[in-house]
Amino acid sequence: RRAGWLPLGAGITLFALAGSAFAAGIDGIGVMQASLIALMFGLGAMLCWRRPDRGLDWLGIGFALRAALGAGEAIAYGWRLWWPGESVPVLLDLLLASHSALDTGAEWVIALGCVLAVHHRIQGELAASHAELGRAHVAMTRIAERDALTGLLNRRMLPGCYEQAVARRGRLLFFDLDGFKRINDELGHEVGDDCLRRFARALETSFPEAIGLIRFAGDEFLALLPGGVDPAPRLAGLARTLAAPGVVPVRFSVGAASLEGQPELRVAVHQADLAMYADKAARRITPP
């Protein structure tokens, strides 16, 4: 498929035609045939060893063995062709006599190299497929567990987080953004979405030890905290962060429910919700 192979193929064809036209006798044909075998298998060995990460080592060894045998055969045939009156050295004579068996041994190494190369490729593809499946699993898990807009946990994760918070005698905070409907109506939903994302990021910063930070509904959020965490200074810092100049200020009301008595989930959420509305009423904020 590469243009560089075309001249090589043309050269091999011309070499073969020259051999059939000009090589005289078995020895002449043997020289040309064995030389071509040595050249091509030697080139194949170098190509295999250029990329050690492809698992072609044994295939390259088989090619190199076959190239070495081809070179030996070419020398032996050439000896008989160019010095017909002299006896062929013993090793070359043995090579000519037994080269078929030796070639078969080299070809078995090549076959083994092919099997190992295919196995290496399959292992690589399986590893890549496994990694892809792992990434897909992470993505699907995030879709199943996380709110798409804010990146916080969604309410499906609330029961599990709640059980952990109860076991650690923690508390539940219920947040509601003040005037959020007005922000959406007057400034648009893009600004409203940005406010939700900013609140979520500020919540994560203010409560890093939270067992779970959950987007409960549109502009309602829950924070499940372990026991021993005083939320008051964190809430003050959260309010300051959300009132930063240059952006639409985000204000919130919050209510808390203790989990030490192990109340039912719906009861704890209802208690925190009532406390949040009491906080809203105390500051004379009319819920949207």
**Residue 246 — very low, low, confident or very high, per pLDDT cuts 50/70/90?**
confident
Compute the distance between CA of residue 266 and CA of residue 179 in angstroms, rounded to an integer. Answer: 25
Contact 247, 240 (CB under 8 A): no
- Give the model's pLDDT for residue 115: 92
Classify the phi-psi angles of 55: left when phi > 0, otherwise alpha if psi is within -120 to 50, otherwise beta. left
Higher per-residue pLDDT: 261 or 274: 274
Rounded to an integer, the average pLDDT of 67-88 is 79
- Give the model's pLDDT for residue 104: 84
Rounded to an integer, the average pLDDT of 231-253 is 90
Q: What backbone phi and psi angles, to 5 degrees, belong to 109? A: -65, -40
Higher per-residue pLDDT: 20 or 218: 218
- Give the model's pLDDT for residue 13: 81
- Give the model's pLDDT for residue 288: 47
Higher per-residue pLDDT: 2 or 254: 254
Report the mean per-residue pLDDT for the chain: 86
Task: Note the pLDDT tens digit of each residue in 159-193.
Answer: 999 999 999 999 999 999 999 999 998 999 999 99
- The strand pairing partners of 30, in sequence order, are none
**Residue 1 — very low, low, confident or very high, per pLDDT cuts 50/70/90?**
low
**Residue 274 — very low, low, confident or very high, per pLDDT cuts 50/70/90?**
very high
215-228 b/e (C-beta count within 10 Å ≥ 16 → b) = bbeebbbbbbbbee
